[in-house]
Structure 1
Amino acid sequence: MCAVALAGGFLAGCGGDDSGGGGSSASPSASAPSQSAGGGESSGASSGGMTEDQRSRKALVPEAKISYDQALKAATGAVSGSKGVSVELKRGSGGKPEWVTEVAGEDGKAGTVRVDAVSGKAGAPEAKKNDDDDMRELADRLKRATVTPQQAAATATGRKSGTVTAVELDTNDQKKEIWSVDVVTKNDWNKTTFDVDAASRKILREHVDRD
């Protein structure tokens, strides 16, 4: 695998494989998601009365064979010295499911790594436009976020059992660092977003998206 050094730029030193210069040595087994639907959830909810978003989740979520934390591990493994900033399950090019992750170094230099949600293979890291102010702000937020994305997700799924489809480091209206965690429940395909304090792991807000 080509683990890109942040100081050397996100694309330096990687091969030309269009499907993933990051390689897959950091990618976990595709058959054993560590964050999946919680105990005994059925995948019911007939599609007749479902919204477009619910139908989209019902089609996409079961296609992902690796979990958000496995995707983060693959992404940070592809960029040396990086930490996870965000991860989200999306429909990629060609209709394939992928985890779109953002990772950053201690200096706040950020980039995007796309991880195949079936194979767990990390694609070539893509550099983001990083100005000095943005880098300093992100570096400070990462330092203040003593809670990991995995801990925040565990807090959210402890409140509501389901599949984690997104985790993002953010700042709320009170200027507190939070991890925003999306949890999809397979019995109704609703999405619940939890704002988890990035220092205390306390749930500050919970919102159910039934649209």
Structure 2
Amino acid sequence: MSSARRLSPLRSLAVVGALGTSVLLLTACTNADTTRSSVAEAAQTESPSPTATGTKSPSPTGSPSANEDQSQRKELVSATKVTWDKAADTAVKEVPEGKLVDLELKRTKSDATASPTGSPTGSPDMSTPNPAPSAGAPEWEAKVAQTDGTLHRIDIDAVSGKVFRTMVDPDQDADDKTQVSDWLDKAKQTPAQAVKAATAKAKGTVTHVELGDNDDQQVVWNVDVVDKGNWNKASIVVDAANGKVLSQDVDTD
């Protein structure tokens, strides 16, 4: 989606020729000892090392960053013990009559138990029933909506399965709540049904499920699935009304 190149034989000859010219010029201007020293330095600078020309990039695309992303997925997914559906069940139980609208696997931040407002006494809307995982450990960050569209954020330890923070979304306004409520009214497919449709197209571990709308104003479920064979991520868009897969994109980075 987004290749390692080797120095061609023609280019190697050009380098040697350039060095020869440099030697002649240096001879005309300096003594023999200086010339030999300069030639040696130039050869070290210009000549490609046998190791460098014979080594291929370890990345499938030749990009180190692509390999880093795959490694990060591997580390995060491998450290996770709680599956998406278990985390979803735990999150929904925290909000009476709540419905899941977003669930994402991510790393725990260092300020996991801090107040959203930075208050030392904490926010009255936030609860921390269990200790947070250590920074960098896997967590499931869930958003569960009430019938009026009010969102509750529930953070779940992805190893123990315990809730370590809950709070009402402090950034929602009336329009936001109306939009979420509208999405829920139009979504006839549950998160589990959307995931079933997505994983029928791309096998792997579910790392993100989110309700929203697309450019055509269709209400959709966006599902991310990581292939544990190559650690690529497939993003599948599922129509939330009928369960049809609308698109699929594979991120090889």
Q: Is the 8 A contact 1:147 1:199 kept in 2?
A: yes
Q: Is 2:74–2:231's contact at 8 Å kept on the other side of the alignment?
A: yes
Contact 2:156–2:165 under 8 Å retained in 1: no
The Cα shift of 1:170 comes to: 1.3
Distance in 1, matches of 2:201 and 2:211, equals 19
User: What residue number does 2:235 align with?
Assistant: 193
1:167 matched to 2:209: yes
**What is residue 112 of structure 1 aligned with on the other side?**
153
* Residue number among 73, 85, 104 corresponding to 1:69 in the alignment: 85
> Equivalent residue for 2:164?
123
Quote the offset at 1:79 in angstroms: 1.6
- Structure 1 residue aligned with 2:198, among 150, 156, 159? 156
Is residue 102 from structure 1 mapped to residue 143 from structure 2 by the alignment? yes
Partner of 2:226: 184
Deviations for 1:177-200, whole angstroms, at most 9, x for unmatched residues? 000000000111000000000011
Number of residues of Structure 1 aligned to a counterpart in Structure 2: 165
Q: Which has the higher strand share?
A: 1
2:101 aligns to what?
A: 85
Partner of 1:147: 189
Structural mapping, 1:7-26, within 5 Å: none
Distance in 1 (CA, whole Å) between partners of 2:207 and 2:168 is: 23
2:149, 2:179 within 8 Å by CA — same for their partners in 1?
Answer: yes
| Amino acid aligned to 2:180 | L
Amino acid at match of 2:216: Q
Q: Alpha-carbon deviations, 1:71-108, whole Å to 9, x = none?
A: 11111111212110010100113111000111110100
Work out whether residues 79 and 125 of structure 1, in 8 Å CA contact, stay in contact via their aligned partners in 2.
Answer: no
Indicate the residue corresponding to 2:180 in structure 1.
138
Q: How far has the Cα of 1:132 moved from its partner?
A: 0.9
Q: Which amino acid aligns with 1:183?
A: V
Structure 2: runs of 5+ lacking an equivalent: 1-57, 60-65, 110-134
Q: Give ranges in structure 1 of 5+ residues lacking alignment.
A: 1-47
Percent identity (aligned): 43
CA distance in structure 1 between the aligned counterparts of 2:158 and 2:191, rounded to whole angstroms = 18
Distance 1:91 1:124, change over 3 A: closer
Q: How far apart are residue 110 of structure 1 and its match?
A: 0.4
Name the amino acid aligned to 1:166: H
Q: Residues of 1 paired with 2:159 and 2:137: CA distance?
A: 9
Give distance in 1, aligned partners of 2:213 and 2:68: 29
Q: Aligned equivalents of 1:176 and 1:122: distance in 2? A: 32
Letter in 1 for 2:72: S
Superposed CA RMSD in Å reads: 1.3
Letter in 2 for 1:190: N
SS, match of residue 51 in structure 1: helix
**TM-score normalised by the chain length of structure 1:** 0.75
- Counterpart of 1:141, as a letter, is W
If each structure's helix is expressed as a fraction of its own residues, which one has the higher value? 2
Amino acid at match of 1:201: G
